[in-house]
Amino acid sequence: MAFVNNTLIVRRDLMSKLIKMYKDGALLSEIDRLPIKMSPKNSQARGRCCIHKERAVLKYKMLPILGYSIDEEVDELTTLSEYAENALNRTAPKSSILTVVDEACTACVKTNYVITNLCKGCVARACYMNCPKEAIGFMENGQAHIDHNKCINCGICKEACPYHSIVYIPIPCEEACPVKAIQKDENGIEHIDESKCIYCGKCINACPFGSIFEVSQVFDILQAIKHDEKLVAIMAPSIQSQFNNKIDEIGDAVCEIGFMEAIEVAYGAMETTKREGAELNEKLESGQQFMTTSCCPSYIELVNKHLPEMKSFVSHTKSPMHYTAEMVRVKYPDAKIVFIGPCVGKRKEMQGNELVDYVLTFEELDSIFSGLDIEIQTSDKEPECAPMSGRGFARAGGVISAVAQMYPQLGVKPIQVANLNKKNIGLLRAYTKGKAPGNFIEVMACEGGCISGPCGKVDYAQAQKIFKKAMGEI
């Protein structure tokens, strides 16, 4: 879920500035000076020790926007202009999906429990007496202290302290990750384990220093347009939750970037509904207790990497992105297809889908609009409307509703799991053991569904209001 905070604002500001420089033909000549312009001499560093650190952080944050993974490809002696030139000349986007900007990732503690100055140095010493590793030391200046070389972060001391003087300090990105895919190295820098990561994107917005980035394809797409390649945009249904405009008006603005056409993924969602309903009927008739949806790529990654016992229950039906891309490929066989959506997971799905060439997030799309000075214009023309049930895929319950409407004879007994956190993953694991109270389980990585995706441009509350208005519910 995207929140409005300063790290998000800086990220979007950086992207918009780079795109504007690109539009003006000044990217290579001005990019090296951008960190100095954004953090000029005698200015106040924003959350960093000094402006020199601030400039270094800004420099390295530009690299994922240019399409580079920090941990694999960064050389401190290479200038930003060299990176930009190589980005504009490459023939294919990088395969990396997420990266950690190490210059920005240095502030979080390595241990979770800390004794504060509320400690009274009491005689009971319950913290010391109950610690299983004897990690609580005797008094220093009248207060207890923790030996972090012995501490195993069990939290017993926190529960034992009568003064609540021991606090739990989370590492936000690690706390947000439901599968422990991100951990600190010996230097205190977070690293993402691709063998565990489900690309839910929760870590991106959890980091208070904005150190976790997607490896963007923005400049690969802009270069393809510049070189007169045919590009077609397919827009996720949740795009209606991000812009307070009609879907055709958003599509017109997308085409102004240089796309041949902008097509709603809601059309592909109807094919998913048709196939998923038929598959559910087949599995229930065969005696299987339930079936889960297969639309969310992060859920599919979860099953493949962490929940193999769920595989037999997952629908084999492809996602709406896939079926929309199939339709586009028939109409435009020579075009490249760009999916526009709210999440990181679609980047992973794209890598395994030969029909889709690029992925843009809503955050990136909004930055392109800003950088290219494109405003979404209102229109009086009657738009071509995709089915409302297909558009409903954008929020939790949308797939269930569409299948139930198309196949009323199935007697769908729905279960919604919207938010892949540790608790809900445990719930899914329990369902595989015969504890599911329904026969059709819709699983989405994000709370509330795709309208609260991690790469949106507005927060969930606002997205809900905009989407309800677009669906005619307000």
pLDDT in tens, 305-333: 999 999 999 999 999 999 999 999 999 99
CA-based torsion, 197, 105, 448, 232: positive or negative = negative
Position 149 scores a pLDDT of 86
Q: For 227-236, what is the mean pLDDT? A: 98
- pLDDT (tens digit per residue) in 76-108: 889 999 999 999 999 999 899 999 999 888 778
Q: For 37-46, what is the mean pLDDT? A: 83
Question: Given pLDDT bands bounded at 50, 70 and 90, which one contains residue 4?
Answer: low
Question: Given pLDDT bands bounded at 50, 70 and 90, which one contains residue 474?
Answer: low
Question: Given pLDDT bands bounded at 50, 70 and 90, which one contains residue 414?
Answer: very high
Q: For 358-380, what is the mean pLDDT? A: 95
Position 195 scores a pLDDT of 96
> Which CATH code is given to the segment(s) 113-168?
3.30.70.20
- Strand pairing of 291-292 and 440-444? parallel
Q: Fill in the amino acid letter for 42.
A: N
Question: Given pLDDT bands bounded at 50, 70 and 90, which one contains residue 72?
Answer: low
* Alpha-carbon gap, residue 89 to 28, rounded angstroms: 12
Position 390 scores a pLDDT of 96
Per-residue DSSP letters for 263-293?
EETHHHHHHHHHHHHHHHHHHHHTT-S-EE-
CA angle, corner 17, sides to 16 and 20, nearest 5? Answer: 85
Where does CATH 3.30.70.20 sit in the chain?
113-168
Which residues, in sequence order, are CB contacts of 282 under 8 Å at separation 6+? none
Q: Which of these ranges, 39-43, 55-59, 342-346, 465-469, has the smallest mean pLDDT?
A: 39-43
Q: Three-class SS of residue 387?
A: coil
- pLDDT (tens digit per residue) in 136-169: 987 777 889 999 889 998 999 999 999 999 999 9
Q: What spatial distance separates the first Cα and last Cα of the chain, rounded to whole Å?
A: 23
Position 186 scores a pLDDT of 80
Position 381 scores a pLDDT of 77
Indicate if the pLDDT at residue 42 is higher than 90.
Answer: no
- pLDDT (tens digit per residue) in 234-275: 999 999 999 999 999 999 999 999 999 999 999 999 999 999
Q: For 289-293, what is the mean pLDDT? A: 96
Neighbours of 244 (CB within 10 A): 15
* Alpha-carbon gap, residue 396 to 416, rounded angstroms: 7
Neighbours of 52 (CB within 10 A): 12
- Give the up-direction half-sphere exposure of residue 344: CA atoms within 13 A in the CB hemisphere: 26
Position 115 scores a pLDDT of 92
Position 224 scores a pLDDT of 97
Q: What is the pLDDT of the chain when averaged over all its residues?
A: 93
Question: Given pLDDT bands bounded at 50, 70 and 90, which one contains residue 3?
Answer: low
Q: Which of these ranges, 185-189, 395-399, 435-439, has the smallest mean pLDDT?
A: 185-189
**In this predicted model, which residue has the larger pLDDT, 76 or 447?**
447
Position 395 scores a pLDDT of 96
* Alpha-carbon gap, residue 331 to 111, rounded angstroms: 56
* Alpha-carbon gap, residue 245 to 257, rounded angstroms: 17
Per-residue DSSP letters for 97-163?
-EEE-TTT---S-S-SEEE-TT----SS-HHHHH-TT--EEEEETTEEEE-TTT-----HHHHH-TT
* Alpha-carbon gap, residue 114 to 148, rounded angstroms: 9
Q: Cα dist. 247→235, 244, 362 in Å?
A: 9, 9, 14
Position 382 scores a pLDDT of 74
441: which 2 tokens? 């389980």
